Amino acid sequence: MNLLLRRLRADLFATPADGALSLGLIALISAAAVGLVQWACQKAQWAVIQANSTLFAVGRYPEAQQWRLWLLTALLTAATGVSWGLLRSHPRADREGQLWPRNDRLVLGLLAAVALWVPWALRLAPALQSRWWLLAALLGASRWLAGRFGSHLSRPLLRLFPLVWPLLYLIGMVLISGGLGLMPVPPSQWGGLLLTLLTASFAILLCFPLGVLLALGRRSDLPLLRWSAVVYIEFIRGAPLITLLFLGQNILGFLLPGGLAPDRIWRAAWVLTFFAAAYLAEAVRSGLAAVPKGQAEAARSLGLSYPQTLVRVVLPQALRVALPAMVGQFISLFQDTTLLSLIGLLELLGVARTVMANPEFLGNNREVYLTLALLFWSCCAALGLGSRALEKRLDPQTLSQSASRP
């Protein structure tokens, strides 16, 4: 108690001026907090969110086909649970094996609370509510199974497990768009969070190899490669994203033979990809610059070929340095998907604007924008947290500590 008081005094009331400032800030913050809570509990009409929750989640995806999205969600949940269990519960060089480390228990509790509270707060139909609970239970169960019995699996199986993710991505694409015996659902019917996540994940996955290639090109000794990479990167970075989306919607049709231009949504997704690749290339380039030249020279003099040097020696070090900047780019790419609403696509923000154009929900824009802000904030903050954890885990100091342990 004494310590706390002393700490408070040093932090907030060290000098009279400091004390006055602190008091003012405390008054300001508590007034704002009280106002916000009062508004959220009494004045806000959350019906606009409750009535349109499906629209926000998947847009105008046909109701008869929505079981495909539930199936995809279940598959993703199971894969997440298994990966989580395999990553966290097994003894590693730097850590004892523990089925439920403390942070994991925290995260599980948080997820359970969200899965219980959000469907209830959204006033979903009981059938839908129970589906969310089942999904939460599936996550916990697969996490537990993988943590408990994962170590009995054979090594090759464990090594191959990450391949589940690209496979799942392809399965997801088929489930969403149809084909292979499923009824096709055209992209114009995708929307809401589904479209946001789809375009963001598509762009993030594809911009990564492109960005690495561009960064290597920019640092190449061959003038032609270097200059084409420089021209591309600077051209893309000089233009606002909205003008590039505009290019994709209005001019791409002229650049390709008639009828070859893809659907508007895919055009926008490709524009996002090419846009993000230029920024990612700059992040990777800073990482490449941080790898001492001696590393590549040492690898070459040991007889490694150029591709081997790159893949085994230079890139692992460069990408580790570039990781924070790269995740920063991914976060801003995720935020940039909101710009799709400006070219008339119905991603989250686009759906929000159509909902607010509905006379029934006129004047409810605070509730909608606050919900969207909270959604975006939690996604981006989670990405940032994950990046910081990964950064710490890949830090050479942690790695060398873990290697020196018996």
Per CB under 8 A, residues contacting another protein are 11-12, 14, 18, 21-22, 25-26, 29, 221-225, 228, 235, 238-243, 246-247, 250-251, 253-258, 331, 335-336, 338-339, 341-342, 349, 365-366, 369, 372-373, 376-377, 380-381, 384
- Closest to another protein by CB, 12 vs 76, is 12
Angle at 39 between CA 38 and CA 43, to 5 degrees: 115
What's the closest the beta carbon of residue 369 comes to another protein, in angstroms?
5
- Closest to another protein by CB, 97 vs 240, is 240
What's the closest the beta carbon of residue 405 comes to another protein, in angstroms?
32
Angle at 388 between CA 165 and CA 404, to 5 degrees: 90
- Closest to another protein by CB, 181 vs 257, is 257
Distance from C-alpha of 379 to C-alpha of 377, rounded to nearest angstrom: 6
Q: Is the Cα dihedral 17, 21, 26, 27 positive or negative?
A: positive
What's the closest the beta carbon of residue 377 comes to another protein, in angstroms?
5
Mark out the alpha helices in 239-358 (DSSP H runs): 241-250, 252-255, 264-290, 293-301, 306-308, 315-336, 348-357
What's the closest the beta carbon of residue 256 comes to another protein, in angstroms?
6
For every residue of 283-302, DSSP letters joined together read HHHHHHHHS-HHHHHHHHHT
- Is residue 56 within 8 Å of 352, Cβ to Cβ? yes
19: enclosing H helix or E strand: helix 16-38
- Closest to another protein by CB, 124 vs 247, is 247
What's the closest the beta carbon of residue 123 comes to another protein, in angstroms?
24
Q: Which amino acid is at 178?
A: G
- Is residue 193 within 8 Å of 58, Cβ to Cβ? yes
- Closest to another protein by CB, 188 vs 305, is 305
What's the closest the beta carbon of residue 70 comes to another protein, in angstroms?
28
Q: What are phi and psi of 277, to 5 degrees?
A: -60, -40
Distance from C-alpha of 299 to C-alpha of 77, rounded to nearest angstrom: 42
Structure tokens at 10: 């040093």
- Closest to another protein by CB, 48 vs 339, is 339
- Closest to another protein by CB, 47 vs 381, is 381
Distance from C-alpha of 359 to C-alpha of 91, rounded to nearest angstrom: 58
Distance from C-alpha of 17 to C-alpha of 24, rounded to nearest angstrom: 11
- Closest to another protein by CB, 11 vs 263, is 11
- Closest to another protein by CB, 129 vs 249, is 249
Structure tokens at 245: 């989306």
- Closest to another protein by CB, 95 vs 388, is 388
Question: Residue 248: is it exposed, middle or buried by C-beta count within 10 angstroms (0-12/13-18/19+)?
Answer: buried
- Is residue 143 within 8 Å of 100, Cβ to Cβ? no
What's the closest the beta carbon of residue 383 comes to another protein, in angstroms?
9
Torsional class of 181: left (φ above 0), alpha (ψ -120 to 50), beta (otherwise)? left
